[in-house]
Amino acid sequence: MPVVDWDGICFDLRDQPSLIDTLLLWLHAEWLKQRKDSLENPAEAYAKRRAQLQEHLSGAAVPMTLVAKECETHKAPPLGCVSLTRLNSRNTRLAEGLWLSNLFVTPTARGRGVGDALLQSAEQTALRLGETELYLYTDIARSYYISKGWQECLMSKSHSSGSSVAVFKKVIQASGA
């Protein structure tokens, strides 16, 4: 992955749990934009998303959410986030993998390398957890992930939207390896 121009920080949400409401609002608003035709009740989806994000504050290594900010001060606003989690899947190989989800960068921070920094931080975290592969699924950002070295490995139907989603995989390795 190329060197990122952005020189802010990425850290575990558990280090600043008060940011959970901001992240929740971002992620839910993005879900609403992408799932306009979904039959899922938005209030129920919000409550479900809140419960899922709360799990990222537990003491377990995974699930976890990484947050990007310009600097360490608590007053600096967050600029983006990304999560690492395990998914329940009928595909045993995929079920055992570590999944990247919730990649989001605020509109004002886009194009500055924040997303790249979050992806790099997620990959480094995965390596520290002993993982050598990451998975994700998307129905809107295929070209972005391909440009970051991800390879499409499966097409599937989304349970929530019914649309086709691409499952991507990335083999990760330590820098210089």
pLDDT, tens digit (0-9, with 9 covering 90-100), for 116-174: 999 999 999 999 999 999 999 888 889 999 999 999 988 776 555 566 788 999 999 88
Q: Given pLDDT bands bounded at 50, 70 and 90, which one contains residue 72?
A: confident
- Rounded Cα distance between 117 and 9, Å, is 8
Q: Which long-range contacts (CB under 8 A, 24 or more apart) does 44-49 make?
A: 49/24
- Rounded Cα distance between 172 and 87, Å, is 19
- Whether domain 9-131 has CATH 3.40.630.30: the reply is yes
Q: Please tell me the pTM assigned to this model.
A: 0.87
CA angle 165–56–115, rounded 5-degree value: 55
Q: Give the rounded percent of residues in the chain with a pLDDT score beyond 70.
A: 84
- Residue 68's φ and ψ, nearest 5 degrees, are -105, 135
pLDDT of residue 117: 95
Q: Where are the domains of the chain?
A: 9-131
Q: Residue 3 above 50 pLDDT?
A: no
